[in-house]
Copies of this chain bind each other. A is one copy, B any other.
Amino acid sequence: MTNKNISIFDSTLRDGAQGQGISFSLEDKLKIVRALDDIGVTYIEAGNPGSNPKDMEFFKRIKEVKLNRAKIAAFGSTRRSNIKAEDDKNIKNLLSADTDVVVVFGKSWDFQVTEILKTTLDENLNMISDTIKYLIDKGKEVIFDAEHFFDGYKDNNEYALSTIKVAEKAGASTVVLCDTNGGTLPNEVKDIASEAISNIGGNVGIHCHDDIGMAVANSIVAAQVGINHIQGTFIGMGERCGNANLSAIIPTLKLKMGHEIIDDQNLSKLTSVARFIAEISNITLKDETPYVGNSAFAHKGGMHIDAVCKDSKSYEHIIPESVGNKRRFLISEVSGKSTILSEIQKIFPQISKESKEVQIITDRLKELEYEGYQFEGAEGTVELVMRKIIGKYKPFFKLNHFKVFAEQPSDNGEFTSSVMINVTVDGKEEMNAAEGEGPVNALDKALRKALEVFYPQLKDVRLVDYKVRVLDSESATEAKVRVLIESTDGVENWSTVGVSRDIIQASWIALVDSIEYKLIKDIERKVKTYF
Contacts and interface: CB of A to CB of B under 8 A. Distances in A.
- Determine how many copies of this chain the complex contains: 2
A376 to B, nearest CB: 5
Contact of A440 (B251, B287, B415, B503): B503
A315 B501 CA distance: 43
A314 B148 CA distance: 9
A226 to B, nearest CB: 13
Contact of A318 (B183, B298, B486): B183
B217 A214 contact: yes
A438 interface: yes
Given A476-B485, A503-B438, A212 B288 contact: no
Contacts of A183: 256, 317-318
Q: Which of A472, A479, A481 has the most CB of B within 10 A?
A: A479
A404 B401 contact: no
A131 interface: no
Interface in A481-499: 481, 485-486
A374 interface: yes
A182 B399 CA distance: 50
Q: Which of A27, A217, A245, A465 has the most CB of B within 10 A?
A: A217
Q: What 4 A-B pairs are tightest by C-beta distance, nearest first?
A: A183-B317, A217-B217, A463-B476, A438-B502
Interface of A: 18-21, 23, 25, 27, 51-52, 111-112, 115-116, 151, 180-183, 185-187, 210-214, 216-218, 220-221, 224, 236-237, 239-242, 245, 248, 251-252, 256-257, 282, 286-291, 293-304, 307, 310-311, 313-318, 330, 332-334, 374, 376-377, 399, 401-409, 415, 417, 436-441, 444, 462-479, 481, 485-486, 500-505, 507-508
